[in-house]
Structure 1
Amino acid sequence: MPSGRQPETTGRRLYGWMLALAGLVLVADQLTKLWAVAALSGGERVTVIPELIQLRLLFNPGAAFSIGAGATWVFTLTAAGAVAGILYTGRRLGSRAWTVVLGALLGGAFSHLLDRLFRPPGLARGHVVDFIDYGGLFVGNVADIALTVSCVILVLLTLRGIPLAGEDAAAGRPGA
């Protein structure tokens, strides 16, 4: 590697950045959910951008568009599996772009997992707090934004052939 750094050091540093970004997403999502629960009453709508974005509080037992509302425990297990998978996969990081993608995915998945584990109606059956209404199409939260944007970037990185382990690994360079 031209920088003279060992790949293990770079990987650990990127893993740390992934965890830091995940923490940032987690904190932003949970703080905005705390605000929404405290500030928005059931059914109240606050217009942010007319016809486009409103704030209204919902408790979502399902996935996107409230799909699978009767199977909340499945989403709890899915979120736990996603968190574990991202933590495992992140150990191979060598790319800054993938660090951002995995960090945002981890933060969003972990925040949803916390909702599922600790919010009413009970352990592993909790409902996710949603409060950003996108023109009546769907209602989401900060974690949903992080998850959606990171999934789009993940697809772009994959289509461009950018490897998780970084450009050195793709080029077959020693030390990658």
Structure 2
Amino acid sequence: MNPEREPETATSREPAGTGGRSPRYVVLLASVAVVVYLIDLVTKVAATAALEGEEPVRILGGFVHLQLVRNPYAAFGMDFGGTWILALVALAVVGVIVWFARKLRSTGWAIGLGLVLAGALGNLTDRVFRAPAPMEGHVIDFLSVFGPDGRYFPVFNAADSAITIGAVLIVVLSVLGRDYDGTITRGRKRNTDTDSGDAEAGDTDTNTDTDAESAGPEAGAPAAAPDAAPDATDAASAAEDGTRSGRAARTSPEEDA
């Protein structure tokens, strides 16, 4: 086992730099929600006071028209079959975000959820406190783009915009692999793939070395080496025979004498 340990990175389950603390993310979420909720509330009160019974007001060169519309439906005029159902859905969304906030370790997610929470609370306030009845109140919309009367796009308000922007931000973070708890899933996957590739390369090298060691004595010796020893023996025998023949030749005249 390798005693050395790699330092913590942003891809680990405990994100680097957060220290495991979530209160600051809860504070950020709540701050975004309060500020956007107040913007939505103030603009609705101002629109009701200034635009009630008035013709659409053209601003920004006609790109935006200010026009008061009381909407019994969901965001951007979508109908889901009952105002009280939409109020219950908004309550459920608020409850889920509040419960989910304690798990946050991501600034982007805190901002996105804060925007969605503000939008849900803004429209829920209208449904609870505005006419015609509690839980059936009509939402105040006053922004019409590209033309009056929602001709090209449904009339909306600041709460609808906050919900849309927050939802888009959360989707983008998810696509980029940025989780609500601060982990980076794509980075972790890349690291896992790299480690797997290194492990496979190490196994290949080990197998190659093992094969070389097992085949060493046979592969390293020349093919003609086994025949070299018999050739040397034959040469030595021939030399010895020649020496004996020479001695016999030298001793023969003496014996004759």
- Alignment partner for residue 42 of structure 2, among 31, 46, 64? 31
Deviation, structure 1 residue 44: 1.6
Do the aligned residues in 2 keep the contact of 1:45 with 1:55 (CA within 8 Å)? yes
Determine what percentage of the aligned residue pairs are the same residue: 35
The residue aligned with 1:147 is 163
C-alpha deviation, 1:166, in angstroms: 0.6
Aligned partner (choices 107, 110, 131) of residue 118 of structure 2: 107
Q: Which amino acid aligns with 1:119?
A: R
- Aligned-residue Cα RMSD (Å) equals 1.9
User: What does residue range 132-171 of structure 1 map to in structure 2 within 5 Å?
Assistant: 132-135=143-146, 136=151, 137-167=153-183
Structure 2: 5+ residue runs without aligned partners?
A: 1-14, 189-257
What aligned pairs does 1:1-176 form with structure 2 within 5 A after superposition? Answer: 3=17, 6-7=19-20, 10-42=21-53, 44-68=55-79, 71-135=82-146, 136=151, 137-167=153-183
Task: In structure 1, list runs of 5 or more residues that go unmatched.
Answer: 172-176
- Structure with the bigger percentage of strand: 1
Partner residue in 2 for 1:174: none
Sort the Cα spacing of 1:166 and 1:69 in 2 relative to 1 into closer, same or farther, 3 A.
closer
Which protein is bigger by CA-based radius of gyration?
Answer: 2
Equivalent pairs, count:
168
Checking the alignment, whether the CA contact within 8 Å between 2:80 and 2:86 is kept in structure 1 is no
CA contact (8 A) 1:42 1:56 kept: no
Question: Cα deviations across residues 49-87 of structure 1 (Å, max 9, x unaligned)?
Answer: 344210000010001343327500010001000100111
Ranked by relative contact order (alpha carbons within 8 Å, sequence separation 6 or more), the top structure is 1
- TM normalised by structure 1 equals 0.88
- Alpha carbons 1:112, 1:143 under 8 Å: kept: yes
Q: Secondary structure at the match of 2:140?
A: strand
C-alpha distance in 1 between matches for 2:169 and 2:88: 25
SS at match of 1:139: coil
